[in-house]
Structure 1
Amino acid sequence: MEPYKKTVDAWLRTDLEAPREQRHTVRRITARIEEEFGGAIPYPTVRDFVAATRKEIAAQAGAPVEAFVTRHNALGADAEVDFGDVYVDLAGQRTRCYLFAFRLAYSGKAVHRISRSCGQCGQQAFFDGHVHALTTLSGVPAGQVRYDNLTPAVKQVVFHSRSREENPRWTAFHAYYGFTPFYCEPGLRGAHEEGDVEGQVGYFHRNYLTPVPQVDSPDESTAD
């Protein structure tokens, strides 16, 4: 890394003023070194240098340093839930539907259900997805089920806090089934907190909904 340290340091300092989504990743830095200097540096070497340098730059700039704790999932304990858009050719007409995904954190086993209404618009679809998932899995997670701040569950987000004002029907629903909801931080700060199920929605798109499914009736579009 010696010939490139000052250059990479400058890139990382520029990142302080850049949008979060457009800051250098280790992979992008490795690629730029090869593109601009013709040097092939092993990824772990770049990773270790960037990790140490970012901490130094953040400390010098007085920027807050985020810390992450490795999450260890226990068998049958935790799960994640998400909604995503899908399209179905319904009776020859392309129709926007919604994919409910429920993923167990330890095993990665996931249950999916497509409905005509989304979690933010139809609480019935939100509840139906849970009932279907818990029935399919033959049990209820013993730990926490992680959620984005979906409207069917959350009436109001208490910012700078994990507290939420829940929809009363949702409170009664999860109390009946005996599981504990965990709400992610709003926006990008909470994106990593249920990243596995978000990736699962994309996986389901690519592997089971490509090409676009063709169905003749709404009953066929509600699928596992």
Structure 2
Amino acid sequence: MNQIDQIKELQRQGLGPGDIASRLGLDRKTIRKYLHKEDFNQPQRVPVVHPSKLDRWKPLIDAWLAEDQRMRFKQRHTAKRIHQRLCEEHAGEYDCSYPLVQRYVKARKAAQRQPGGFLELVWAPGEAQADFGEAEVVEAGVRKTVKYLTLTFPYSNAGFTQVFGGETAECVAQGLQDIFRYIGGVPSRIVFDNATGVGRRIQQHIALNQLFLRFKCHYGFSVTFCNPNAGHEKGNVENKIGYTRRNFFVPLPVVDRLADWNDGLGQTARSCGTKSRSF
């Protein structure tokens, strides 16, 4: 390739085949060959696929792995369990080794895994993240565990919180409605955790709770779900949840009614010198 590069470099300098041949001491036919050549990619080797003893059992293994997508993560097949099932259910026919199964299952799971990408480090104005945190309060003399919905805007680092007894779609809708009224606007997009009560993302399919779907259509914002078990994809709201817990739930809040306390969170935030309702 070094010699070819020299030929192309002299060609770029305007030299003809004769001049290049005399300079490099090469035959003119060789020079002309490379002067007209433009594709220098090496031909790709086609991998040879050899038949495997496991080929007969691959459709069954694929079916088990596909069924696993609807199961809890800890109740899915491992390569060892697949090998054991094949030995138990097809004794006398199945004669493959465990390493053979292990390599195939590893390759199939890698193919099913969602492709990686880049996290959003720059957020546009009006885009928000939402999630629930958990803390304890004393309401009307009774100590109880509550859920607090936090909505943050990564562009400005502003955050707003409302407290509820649970994290259902009704709580999300009520909390967001109260925050929208307080800030006098609606986010263009909200990123939710996959575990919130508004809906779920299963691979590329998103199923929204019907009540929240009506709420979303009414206010006209778009919704994005994080990947399962990927809280780092909404790090701004995760940090704000911790900040809220440390600053507004320590020491243990004592309130008469959660609804009244939600109304007073804005005044508390302003007295702390913040720009939001509860951080």
Please say whether Structure 1 and Structure 2 have the same fold, judged by a TM-score greater than 0.5: yes
Q: Aligned residue for 2:208?
A: 166
2:176 aligned with 1:130: yes
Q: Does the CA-based 8 Å contact 1:101-1:113 persist in structure 2?
A: yes
Q: Aligned residue for 1:216?
A: 256
Distance 2:243 2:235 in 1: 12
Say which of 185, 190, 211 aligns to 1:145: 190
1:132 alignment partner, SS class: helix
Aligned CA RMSD, in angstroms, stands at: 2.3
Instruction: Give the CA deviation at 1:94.
Output: 1.2
Q: Aligned residue for 2:125?
A: 75
Identify if the C-alpha distance between structure 1 residues 70 and 215 changes in structure 2 by more than 3 Å, giving closer, same or farther. Answer: closer
Identify if the C-alpha distance between structure 1 residues 151 and 200 changes in structure 2 by more than 3 Å, giving closer, same or farther. Answer: closer
Q: What is the TM-score of this pair, normalised by structure 1? A: 0.61
Instruction: Give the CA deviation at 1:173.
Output: 1.1
2:123 alignment partner, SS class: coil
Higher relative contact order (CA 8 A, sep 6+): 1
Structure 2 letter corresponding to 1:94: R
Structure 2 letter corresponding to 1:75: P
Say which of 175, 180, 203 aligns to 2:243: 203
Cα deviation, 1:100-156, whole Å, max 9, x if unaligned, reads 10111200111111112x22xx322111111011111211122x21001245311x5
Q: What is the TM-score of this pair, normalised by structure 2? A: 0.50
Identify if the C-alpha distance between structure 1 residues 212 and 141 changes in structure 2 by more than 3 Å, giving closer, same or farther. Answer: same
Identity over aligned pairs, percent: 26
Q: Does the CA-based 8 Å contact 2:190-2:224 persist in structure 1?
A: yes
Unaligned runs of 5+ in 1: 1-61
Cα deviation, 1:180-211, whole Å, max 9, x if unaligned, reads 00000001xx2211111011011011112110
Distance 1:66 1:179 in 2: 26
Matches within 5 A, 1:35-114: 68-76=118-126, 78-114=127-163
Unaligned runs of 5+ in 2: 1-109, 266-279
Structure 1 letter corresponding to 2:190: V
Cα deviation, 1:75-111, whole Å, max 9, x if unaligned, reads 22x1000111121112332111110101112001111
Structure 1 letter corresponding to 2:122: H
Structure 2 letter corresponding to 1:152: G
Identify if the C-alpha distance between structure 1 residues 217 and 137 changes in structure 2 by more than 3 Å, giving closer, same or farther. Answer: closer
2:164 aligned with 1:115: yes
- Between the two proteins, the alignment pairs up a number of residues equal to 152
Structure 2 letter corresponding to 1:86: A
- Higher gyration radius (CA): 2
